Amino acid sequence: MQLLTVDTLEQAQNKIYAYMVKNPLKKEKVALKSAYQYILAEDVYAPFAVPHFRRSIVDGYAINSLDTVGIGESIPCFLKVLGKVEMGEENRLAINRGECVYVPTGGMLPSGADAMVMLEYTEKFSENEIACYQNVKHNQYVVEIGEDISEKSLVLKAGTLLRPHEIGVLASLGFEEVLVYAKPRVAIISLGDEIIQAGQDLEPGKIYDINTYGLYAQAEKFGFAVDNCYHIKDEKSSIHAVLQKVVKQVDIICVSGGSSQGEKDFTANLLGEISTTGVLTHGIAVKPGKPTITAYNEETQCLLLGLPGHPVAAMLLFELLAAEVYKKLWNVPKTPQVVAKMACNFPSADGRLTCQLVELNWLENQYIATPIFSKSGVISSLAKAQGYILVDMNSEGVKKDEQVIVHLI
């Protein structure tokens, strides 16, 4: 049996990136209401200041702050009420010393006012006069023009993930649609005579399809769109026919299973045949996930991944290859991380980068990372994990109480 010639994870990523970076990234405009979880494809600058008028942040009266110098609960000042501001309307009123105007929260301040006094610190004597018991400072309870966002300022950078927070900011600037990177289209192909679908009777020797569902969720998590899912038995001609069709339709093909060198492991040969590059990598120095395969079709601009049948390895390698390479192309920050203290000693795998799932617990004002030990193919470890650590192939491992970086999942 021919042994795999392995690449490091970085080498495998760089080989993929070298081909993909040659192609312009696909972009599209989407309605702002539909932009959640898209990646912004251009820098966004403010077309105007936010707020674009001086705005109150309390219900009360707009005043000149000098009128309140030296006053208090026992020594009020008396102010003439000129009128009130209606929400959503331009305020054309102006005040002088000794005058005020009622302004609701979010309302526009009149000319001449430099502060607000809260309603609960006033007493109404008539329709035209109040007593004020609050000493306020210049600009107190007032948001100035551009205090939130200044005109022409850079608001969001290209590569920003659009969460509800960013969508709210764009809405405040009046954007109806936004330019984003088109979601890469993914096809998932699960191989194996032993695999059956949910709803079928579970017979001895059979297992339910895990990787289709796990990879589908991983794809959506990282901003991809799954076009189609296939389950194909270990028949070379059937697998080849599907690959030939979908390589023209999607941006990424994930083949789960058949990536090693067993009797029915056809994936490496088939991916090499439908690619234009041939197999780029067959074997990555990472645990779990050593028999992973990568290739690329330059004509259709399709990334080809042969992932292990082991569900934990398949999902982790999808993240470390497809998701991380696209993040680099999109200039998106890496996966969120936290620093934690190891709960126990953990050895490295000889000659391989170890991607170890961990459980996180908050104890004595710090995170404690506990490795989740499981045999190959045990899927429950993913459900228990909040993240993973990467243990360098050249290290002896990680010692108890040593600080580690945990990549959140």
pLDDT per 10-residue tile (average), the chain, 409 residues: 76 97 96 96 97 96 97 93 92 95 96 97 93 96 96 96 96 97 97 90 92 96 96 92 97 87 77 96 93 96 95 94 96 90 92 93 96 75 91 92 95
Q: Does domain 55-143 have CATH number 3.10.300.10?
A: no
Strand residues in 3-76 grouped as ranges (E): 27-31, 39-40, 44-45, 55-56, 60-63
Nearest to 255 by CA among 214, 308, 205, 302: 308
Instruction: Please tell me the distance from the alpha carbon of residue 369 to that of residue 337, in angstroms, as a whole number.
Output: 12
Residues 6+ apart with CB under 8 A from 164: 36
Domain with CATH 3.90.105.10 in the chain: 31-50+147-181
pLDDT of residue 378: 66
pLDDT of residue 333: 83
Strand residues in 170-276 grouped as ranges (E): 177-181, 185-191, 195-196, 207-208, 225-232, 252-256
Instruction: Please tell me the distance from the alpha carbon of residue 285 to that of residue 206, in angstroms, as a whole number.
Output: 30
Nearest to 219 by CA among 345, 326, 365, 65: 326
Describe the strand order of the beta sheet including 225-232 as a list of residue ranges: 225-232, 185-191, 252-256, 302-307, 293-297, 279-282
Domain with CATH 2.40.340.10 in the chain: 337-408
Domain with CATH 2.170.190.11 in the chain: 55-143
Instruction: Please tell me the distance from the alpha carbon of residue 281 to that of residue 10, in angstroms, as a whole number.
Output: 11
pLDDT of residue 72: 86
Task: Show contacts of 193-196: CB within 8 Å, 24+ apart.
Answer: 193/233, 193/234, 193/264, 195/231
Pick the CATH number of 31-50+147-181 from 3.40.50.2300, 3.30.1280.10, 3.90.105.10, 3.50.50.60: 3.90.105.10
Fold exhibited by the domain 9-26+183-330: Molybdenum Cofactor Biosythetic Enzyme; Chain A (3.40.980)
Decide: helix, strand or coil at residue 15. Answer: helix
Q: How many C-beta atoms lie closer than 10 Å to residue 225's C-beta? A: 13
pTM: 0.85
Query: Per the structure block, which two tokens stand in for 267?
Result: 């994936």
pLDDT of residue 128: 94
Instruction: Please tell me the distance from the alpha carbon of residue 231 to that of residue 200, in angstroms, as a whole number.
Output: 14
Superfamily of domain 337-408: MoeA, C-terminal, domain IV (2.40.340.10)
pLDDT of residue 1: 45
